[in-house]
């Protein structure tokens, strides 16, 4: 009996809840792919596949990617400080 309960708890907590979280989270992206994309899956479907195949590891990847800045976001590039050279002038 104890092993059955443990198996169901692992199944529910390790796979079903992360799948629900990714499916219902507005931060996981749209269902449809971006225009001009060669992939038929949108970002949300891609995350669902990753969580389905990797389980809790895929969910942790989703959680870490949610808070990462996008490449085109303001301030997402290299920092320009006093020690880093700025853009090179045309030679």
Specify if 73 maps to a domain: no
pLDDT value at residue 1: 80
| SS3 sequence of the chain | CHHHHHHHHHHHHHHHHHHHHHHHCHHHCCCCCCCCCCCCCCHHHHHHHHHHHHCHHHHHHHHHHHCCCCCCCCCCCCCCCCCCCCCCCCC
Phi–psi pair at 21, nearest 5 degrees: -60, -45
Q: Tell me, yes or no, whether 33 lies in a domain.
A: no
Supply the range of the domain harboring residue 24. Answer: 2-28+40-66
- Please state the pTM of the whole predicted model: 0.65
Q: What are the pLDDT tens digits along the chain (91 aa)?
A: 889 999 999 888 888 999 999 999 988 889 899 888 888 889 999 999 999 999 889 999 999 986 665 555 555 555 555 555 556 666 5
Q: Are 45 and 57 in contact (CB under 8 A)?
A: no
How many structural domains compose the chain? 1
Question: Does residue 10 lie within any of the structural domains?
Answer: yes
In a domain, 87, yes or no: no
Position 68 scores a pLDDT of 63
Any domain includes 19: yes
């Amino acid at each position: 009996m104890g092993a059955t309960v443990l198996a169901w708890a692992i199944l529910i907590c390790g796979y079903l809840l992360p799948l629900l979280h990714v499916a219902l989270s507005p931060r996981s992206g749209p269902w449809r792919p971006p225009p001009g994309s060669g992939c038929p899956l949108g970002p949300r479907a891609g995350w669902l596949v990753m969580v389905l195949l990797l389980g809790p590891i895929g969910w942790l990847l989703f959680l870490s990617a949610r808070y990462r800045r996008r490449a085109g976001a303001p301030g997402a590039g290299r920092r320009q400080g006093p020690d880093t050279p700025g853009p090179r002038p045309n030679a």
